[in-house]
């Protein structure tokens, strides 16, 4: 595979790789390192990329595995999950504060989900992958993904309702 062919194949999903890495790792720097490492590995194995049905799904799986390895490593003692995918518009300061508080709350709720639910929320709701693609990446059945996603959303919804009602049912 030539360089231009390789770039045309991987550039369209580079932002998704970065966002997934950022979701799973501590910081922008860690996510950038993970993304760079992934693309280096893809470049080294560029001749084999044609063997995969979806290079993007393969890359996302590699990213997930790399990030989990980083989180399990001894160096990862200070890593935590973070995500910010919000772009501000011209809003009043009060609205901006409320939106930032809501986003922070949802981020904290996502952080408290089990690892698999956290990953599925990221891939489905943030990255907009289809269930079939997620099943291929995570190597689990689509029905398991649907169940896990449903449980994650229900947990987040219940916690949001609880928070907005200030614990009053």
pLDDT of residue 83: 44
Per-residue pLDDT tens over the stretch 56-98: 888 898 888 888 888 777 454 544 444 444 454 566 777 778 7
Per-residue pLDDT tens over the stretch 113-126: 998 999 999 889 88
- The dihedral of CA 96, 101, 102, 106: what is its sign? positive
Q: In the numeric block, which tokens belong to residue 16?
A: 């998704």
Q: Which residue has the tokens 């280096």?
A: 40
pLDDT of residue 54: 84
Average per-residue pLDDT for the chain: 81
Residue 111 CA to residue 156 CA, distance in Å, equals 10
Does the model's pTM come out above 0.75? no
Phi, psi of 110 (to 5 degrees): -65, -40
pLDDT of residue 1: 67
- Full set of structural domains in the chain with CATH: 1-80 (1.10.1740), 89-169 (1.10.10.10)
Residue 47 CA to residue 17 CA, distance in Å, equals 20
Phi, psi of 77 (to 5 degrees): -60, -20
CB 147 within 8 Å of CB 113 = no
Give the residue-averaged pLDDT of 46-54. 81
**Is the pLDDT confidence value at 157 over 60?**
yes
pLDDT of residue 67: 86
pLDDT of residue 167: 52
Q: Which residue has the tokens 């928070």?
A: 163
Per-residue pLDDT tens over the stretch 95-116: 778 777 778 888 888 889 998 9
């Amino acid at each position: 595979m030539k360089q231009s062919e390789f770039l045309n194949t991987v550039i369209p999903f580079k932002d998704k790789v970065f966002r997934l890495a950022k979701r799973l790792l501590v910081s922008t720097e860690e996510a950038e390192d993970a993304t760079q490492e992934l693309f280096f590995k893809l470049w080294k194995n560029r001749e084999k990329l044609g063997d995969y049905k979806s290079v993007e799904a393969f890359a996302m799986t590699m990213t997930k595995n790399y990030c989990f390895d980083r989180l399990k490593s001894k160096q990862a003692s200070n890593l935590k999950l973070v995500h910010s995918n919000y772009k501000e518009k011209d809003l009043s300061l009060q609205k901006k504060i409320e939106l930032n508080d809501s986003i922070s709350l949802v981020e904290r709720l996502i952080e408290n989900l089990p690892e698999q639910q956290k990953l599925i929320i990221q891939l489905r709701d943030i990255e907009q992958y289809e269930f079939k693609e997620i099943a291929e990446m995570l190597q689990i059945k689509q029905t398991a993904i649907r169940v896990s996603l449903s449980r994650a959303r229900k947990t987040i919804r219940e916690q949001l309702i609880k928070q907005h009602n200030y614990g009053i049912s």
